[in-house]
Structure 1
Amino acid sequence: MAKLPTPATMYSALLRHDPTYEGVFWLGVRTTGIFCRPTCRARTPNRENIEFFAAPSDALHAGFRPCRKCRPLDHGRKPPPLVEQLLAAVEREPGRRHRDAELVERGIDPSTARRQFKRYCGMTFQAYHRARRMGVALSDIRKGKTVLDSQLDQGFASGSGFREAFARIVGTPPSQAGSLGVLHAKWLETPLGAMLALADDRGLHLLDFVDRRGLEQSLTLLQRRLRARVLPGEHPVLTQIVRELDEYFQGTRLMFNTPVVLTGSPFQLAVWRALQNIRPRTTCSYCELAVKIGQPAAVRAVGRANGDNRLSIIVPCHRVIGAGGALTGYGGGLWRKQKLLDLERSITADSC
């Protein structure tokens, strides 16, 4: 994760519209829900209304949409008509899915769309759309609002777009969610990027990076199995994990005491419990993990269960490596896996 300059330095660069900071940071404006380049010529917002990001994808996951004036996804050239068409389609309905079959029905070749979008915006269309959709759906959680169905008029094409995204991810419209249980949600900022935490009175059910590709599927599956809806708000379990994560990243904690709830098949539960037994500052191969659960031939299945883990860091799937010692298979990105391992190796017993 890129290290940002200080907020004072970035705001000063924004006031000067300093072109030397192009590509160094992007800024989101809370009052409009838009994110911009540091050289944007729109009216400069007040400092308290600004949030800084190291990458456009971070701003998208935080619920901001691209500024139409400075075009923060552009690279100094006009976007191809196909890219403009796709960007407009997402903004019209941020919560709607745009599957390959639908693109074909509109006369768009999916492979061409992926190639042009990647070349122009630095990410595939599906990656952009997923980030935008998740940003919309998680916006209230991030802001700490108490009612997910409240009218959102900051940064979204319409309130109905949010409700559609909510229904797709939560599994039911807000108006029909009254009979479900409740998972309290909190957006956490960490040195390795934003995370989402879900908890109830039993413990922590989910802790994951918001830009992980499988997060949306994890949310859908978890809520279906628990028959629960997600509501932002405080909870003692969330307060505890925030404190313990802060201590972990500050290098004063290696073990977590936050109660967790594992929800999965018997095989998945066996793998996740084995993960919990991998000590800090040590690693384990997929083969070794398969032996530990008594199924030495199930290496691939162990790998899949490892990837299905919903409790990043606490259930330490980042400590599982390839047979030759190489870093492999981490949903949050191999760079995060390396950072976590390096952090844990730097923490001494005396410091925690």
Structure 2
Amino acid sequence: MIDVTSNANEYYQALLDRNSEYEGVFFVGVKTTGVFCRPTCPARKPKFENCEFFSTAQEALLASFRPCKRCRPLSSPNEVSEIVQKLVQAVEEEPEKRWKDKDFQALSIDASTARRQFKKRFGMTFVEYARARRMGLAMKHIREGESVIDAQLATGYESSSGFRDAFSTIMGLPPASAGARKVLKADWLDTPLGPMVACGDEDALYLLEFVDRRGLEREVERLRQKMKAAIVPGTTPVLRSIEKELAAYFNGKTLTFQTPLQLLGSPFQQRVWKELQAIPPGATKSYSELAEAIGKPTAYRAAANANGANQLAIVIPCHRVINANGELGGYGGGLTRKKWLLRHEQQYSLDAFHRP
């Protein structure tokens, strides 16, 4: 069980705020009901004196608490519902399909439920998701040399003006200009600390961030502009690779990553990011030590800014940089996650050291 005297007040406030930054960091057992919940549970909040805090779901189970049926603490945060899985599969089977109410009825799915669940999962409604997927398919046809009219018909549009407007809205340019346009796929990955969004193409990973990171939308827009790329829902072998490696990381099987990365930054930023990757799991460096390591000892503020500009959370371990006085410093994903990641890596490294 967590050290209640040092953390209970902090965790109780996170529970009241339904703060997603604390997902996976603690679970709360409610003495009056006998259930335990995740920090973002929508149920009515218990009084402080009726709460017992745990670092893992297993600890809560061993203390005789049963899992809450509303927040389902034994599943991943924002775990994909059966409805979302079913509809995503349907889109992949017929990506050119234009969905109508009768299509939802055929699958015994309420259209408003689909809209709400997709909005929660992807930040867009199902219709927006399906349209973006369809435009990604149209982009693929055009880049492979097909005419715009063929791409229009292949994706189910009878009206050329309707196709052009939809394409321009999602892709950021008209279909006639799309031949050389780059396409990045975006996928949502579940982790014990909350969902992350990953963007990449067939060759490399460009972005990996926690979904609730402040300024994420601006990051995605900067990526789109810098790469002159359309970003659409989907997956690639690179995104499947990072999903597997993140699962291994959180399970404590390995703390290293082999997925190829695309680093988009100035030469100075890239030097900082390369140095971050050289910090061993379980170790930390201060911002001044980071600046010294790249041969710029007086540029610790610039090194800190480059650290904050990292768009590949966990994989490029900016969470391993702390203040010279030992305090955590900043972290885009939230200081609670930073603390958890450092503790996780230190524990893994300790276990590996004692392993025969």
Is structure 2 residue 120 aligned with structure 1 residue 135? no
Structure with larger Rg: 2
CA separation in 2, counterparts of 1:138 and 1:222?
Answer: 24
Aligned partner of 1:220: which letter? E
Matched, 1:349 2:337: no
2:134 to 147, 151, 162: 147
Residue of structure 1 in register with 2:172 after alignment: 172
User: Which amino acid is the alignment partner of residue 322 of structure 1?
Assistant: N
Aligned: 1:269 with 2:270:
yes
The residue aligned with 2:192 is 191
What is aligned with 1:120? none
For residue 197 of structure 2, give the secondary structure of its aligned residue in structure 1: strand
Give the direction of change, closer, same or farther, for the CA distance of 1:290–1:62 in structure 2 (3 Å limit).
farther
Partner residue, 2:43: 21
1:134-172 alpha-carbon deviations (Å, 9 max, x no partner): 82389966x99733689xxxxxxxxx9xx99x95xx772
Q: Contact 2:118–2:125 at 8 Å: present in 1 too?
A: no
**Which residues of structure 1 form unaligned runs of 5+?**
14-18, 33-47, 51-59, 66-133, 151-159
Any idea what the Cα deviations from partners look like across 1:72-129, whole Å, max 9, x if unmatched?
xxxxxxxxxxxxxxxxxxxxxxxxxxxxxxxxxxxxxxxxxxxxxxxxxxxxxxxxxx
Is it true that 1:63 corresponds to 2:85 in the alignment?
Answer: no
The root-mean-square deviation of aligned C-alpha atoms, in Å, is: 4.2
Number of the residue aligned with 1:77:
none
Q: d(CA) in 1 for partners of 2:118 and 2:334? A: 18
Measured at CA, do residues 138 and 315 of structure 1 come closer, stay the same or move farther in structure 2, by a change above 3 Å? farther
Q: Which runs of 5+ in 2 are unaligned?
A: 1-21, 46-67, 73-77, 85-107, 111-115, 138-161
Aligned residue for 1:72?
A: none
CA shift, 1:230, in A, is 1.0
Provide the C-alpha distance between the structure 2 equivalents of 1:249 and 1:199, rounded to a whole number of angstroms.
21
Quote the residue 2:324 is aligned against: 323
**CA 1:181 to 1:283, structure 2 compared with 1: closer, same or farther past 3 Å?**
same
Partner SS for 2:183: strand
Please report how far the alpha carbon of residue 312 of structure 1 lies from its aligned counterpart in structure 2 after TM superposition. 0.3
> Aligned AA for 2:172?
T
Read off the aligned partner of 2:43 and give its amino acid letter.
Answer: Y
SS of equivalent residue, structure 1 residue 238: helix
- Does the CA-based 8 Å contact 1:186-1:232 persist in structure 2? yes
- Separation in structure 2 between the aligned mates of residue 61 and residue 310 of structure 1, nearest angstrom: 27
199-208 or 277-286: which moved more?
A: 199-208
Q: Does the Cα contact within 8 Å between 1:61 and 1:211 map onto a contact in 2?
A: no
Identity value in percent: 40
The within-5 A match list for 1:67-216 is 135-136=123-124, 146-147=133-134, 172=172, 178-179=178-179, 180-216=181-217
| 8 A Cα contact 1:171 1:224, kept in partner | no
Q: As a proportion of its length, which structure holds more helix?
A: 2
Aligned residues of 2:286 and 2:324 also touching (Cα < 8 A): yes
- CA deviation profile, 1:320-349 (whole Å, cap 9, x unmatched): 000101011101000000011111111132
Q: Give the match for residue 335 of structure 1.
A: 336
Q: Deviations over 1:257-307 (max 9, x none)?
A: 111110111111111111111110000000000111111111111111111
| Equivalent position of 1:234 in the other structure | 235
**Paired AA for residue 178 in structure 1:** A
Q: Distance in 2 between matches of 1:62 and 1:290?
A: 43
Letter in structure 1 aligned against 2:328: L
Aligned length: 235
Q: 1:177 to 1:280 in 2, by over 3 A?
A: farther
Task: State how far apart, in whole Å, the 2-side matches of 1:64 and 1:20 are.
Answer: 14
Paired letter, 2:326: G
Inter-partner Cα distance in structure 2 for 1:325 and 1:193: 26
Instruction: Provide closer, same or farther for how the CA distance between residues 306 and 5 of structure 1 changes in structure 2, counting only shifts above 3 A.
Output: same
1:61 touches 1:210 (CA, 8 Å); kept in 2? Answer: no
